[in-house]
Structure formats: C-alpha cells, structure tokens
Amino acid sequence: MNRLKYSMLICIGMLPLSVQASDPALQCTLLKDNALRLACFDKVYAAQFPPQSLPQTPKPQPKSVDLVKSIESSIDNKETVVVFDGARKAGEPLSDLIESADAYTPLSQLYDLDENNQNGILSLREHNPMYILPVWYNSAPNVKPYSSTRGETDAEKFSDQKRIETKLQISFKTKIMEDLFRTRADIWFGYTQKSDWQVWNQGRKSTPFRNSDYMPELLVTQPVKADLPFGGKLRVLGAGIVHQSNGQSRPESRSWNRVYGMAGMEWGKLTVVPRVWMRAFDMSGEKDDNPDIMDYMGYGDLKLQYRFNDQQTLGTTLRYNPKTGKGAIETGYAFPVKGKLKAYVRSFHGYGESLIDYNHKQSGIGIGVMFNDWDGF
C-alpha cells in the first residue's frame, strides 16, 4: 500500500514538468528577455486562438530582402535579382518560435524591421539618446574656439566658461513613407539637438547656452537578412544625408553636410552599427566654416551597444581618422531607477564633442537621466 502511495506522489510531482515540456506557452516563460518572451507568447497564442472576425483574403505583407541569396542569384543569372526572405509555415516547432521572437530586438523595433509600428507614419519615435545631464565636467574648456577660415573667437561666453555645466540632448524621428518597392524599405526624417548650458556659472549676470548643435537628417532603411560569422545577423542597410550646424554667425559659425551609408548587425544582445560618410553639398574655400573638420571627425563611426536582461544598456561610439591619428570615444551607461525612468552616465574623450569644439581635444563625464527606453543609434 505504501509503495502505491509513493508511486502516485512521484507521478503527481512530475506532472507539471510534463505539462511544461509539452506546452509552448510555458516554455516561453523560460525566456528572460522581455521582448523575446512577449514575442514568443504572440506567436503561440496567435496559432491557438481562432480569428474573431470573418476570414478575409490576407493582404501580402512586405518581406525583408535575403541579401546572400540575392547576390548569388544575381551572379548566376548575370542580372539583378532580388530574393525575399521566406515566410514561416504554421505549426512550426517551439525552437522556430523562439528564433522568430529573437527578431523583436531593440534594433528591429527602432527601424520597424519585422513589422510596422501601430502608430503609423508621421508619429514621433525614438532616435538618438534623449537626456539631460545636470552635472557635466569638462576637463579642458575651449576658451578661444578657432577655425582656419573664421579665425579665433574671443566671445565672453567662451573665455569665462566654467568646467562644470549642464548638457542636454533632444532627439526624435518620424517615418515619412513605409514599405517601398514592395519590401519593408522605409524613409525617415530625424532631428537631434544638443546644447551645453553654463547654468553653474553664477558669476555672470546670465547663464548662457555656450553652444547648441542642430542636426536634421533624412534616412532610408532596407531590412535585410544574412548570417554573419560567430552567430551574428545582418539586419538592416541604410543611407542618409545629414546637416549639422550651430546656427551662429561668423566667427562662431560651424557647419557641414554629410551623406552616409550604414548597416545594423546583431550578435545576441550585442548590437553593432557601423557608418561611413563623406562631405557633400558644402561650400569650398573661404566660404567653408571648417575645411579641416574631416581630419578630426574622420570618415565614419562605429556604434556598439550591449543590453542586459534587467533593462541596463552599455553603449560606445568610436571615431578615428588613421591619416591624422585623431578621433573620439563616447561611452554611455543607462540603468532603470523607477518605472521607465533611467539614470544615465556618459563620458567623452577626444575631438568633436560639439561643432564649436570640433578641433579641440577634451575629456568629460556627467550623470543625469534618460528619457527614452532605447539609448539609440
């Protein structure tokens, strides 16, 4: 009799394990990443529940471009051939569900790589980091900004500046057009503004904004899919044009235009976005505010970001010109404080922290708060 009781208890104890092994929804709970877990649930329950309305002819959904197969087919056929990524079939196993869920990463959500945002076009979206750093320490204030075509600037707001100031940045983008060329290609307009405020300079009658940079841009993104070494994935290719200026008159005026190409890649929780650029549509000679800006800003940058399970993110941006040996490194660390509010620690070393300081080397560090969930690219 006792042996029978023990057998029944063992069977009852193993019952939850067998249910968990057979129920895909329970297996979704094993995913620690919030985005992956939610996407897994979406896939599971979409397949289990019947539609709540009369069936309609499904509208063909734009697909990502399979970059590897497109190149191979173009070479074989000796003409341009675009091959789209194949759709998954119903009844896919859980391993495929998790692989599908892996597509809903911050990079995917930032550029609508797998599905369009429900708010549609012309809605404000996250772009670059948006933050305020009440305390920013500058190791080497640029008291006499200089440009070869504009000479030296000796304005009081520069000569009397303090090492400690407040730094803030606002940034947003909006989708202008979506799903172009029967693919998931989109056109975006973005805007970023960064300001340095001498709010701690109490010796002055007023506390001026030492510098403000304004940066509108136009960007085209094309979601793609291609495998990379060490388990990486190429997710997006893009091209854009960006104008950056400080809105000042001579001799403080600084401005330049760039066209750039970019790519977005992921290795699990690591996101890598390289960009290459060149100057375009700029004045030449004495009309150029900063003819040597490429010597300091280089020909591109490399952005890396690692996201942790507890909503912490660590990001780095690198710039380097091998011809001049000049560049910069920027690092940002964001961690949750309460709800969606995040604390943000940022550091910088090198050239080009702002346009007025494009040829001035300095180091800085500050702490404050971030106003967006994704610390952006």
Averaging pLDDT over each range in 66-80, 102-116, 146-160, 218-232, which range is the top one? 218-232
| Mean pLDDT lowest among 214-223, 277-286, 342-351 | 277-286
| CA separation for the pair 218, 203 (Å, rounded) | 41
What residue ranges do the domains of the chain occupy?
A: 25-48+61-104, 123-370
Architecture of the CATH domain 123-370? Beta Barrel (2.40)
| Residue 363 marked as a ligand binder | no
This prediction has a pTM of 0.78
- Write down the pLDDT at residue 272: 98
**102 labelled binding-site residue:** no
Query: What are the pLDDT digits (tens) for 33-82?
Result: 666 676 676 766 665 555 555 555 555 556 566 555 555 555 544 444 44
At 75-121, the pLDDT tens digits run: 544 444 445 555 444 445 555 555 555 567 888 889 999 888 888 89
- For the chain, what percent of residues have pLDDT higher than 90? 53
Nearest-angstrom CA–CA distance, 321 and 116 = 37
From 70, 74, 245, 363, active-site residue:
245
The reply, when asked if residue 95 is annotated as ligand binding, is no
pLDDT of residue 377: 39
d(CA 45, CA 320): 48
Number of helices followed by number of strands (H, E) in the chain: 8, 16
Distance separating alpha carbons of residues 223 and 117, to the nearest angstrom: 14
b/e 168-194 (16+ beta carbons within 10 angstroms → b):
bbbbbbebeebeeeebbbbebebbbbb
| pLDDT tens per residue, range 295-339 | 999 999 999 999 998 789 999 999 999 999 999 999 999 999 887
User: Are the C-beta atoms of residues 11 and 3 closer than 8 Å to each other?
Assistant: no
Mean pLDDT score of the chain: 82
Question: Rounded to 5 degrees, what are φ and ψ at 46?
Answer: -65, -30
Q: Are strands 209-228 and 65-66 parallel, antiparallel or unpaired?
A: parallel
Selecting among 70, 74, 100, 243, the annotated active-site residue is 243
Residue 114 and residue 103: Cα distance in Å, rounded? 7
User: Which residues are registered as beta bridge partners of 257?
Assistant: 243
Active site includes 245?
Answer: yes
Active site residue 243: yes
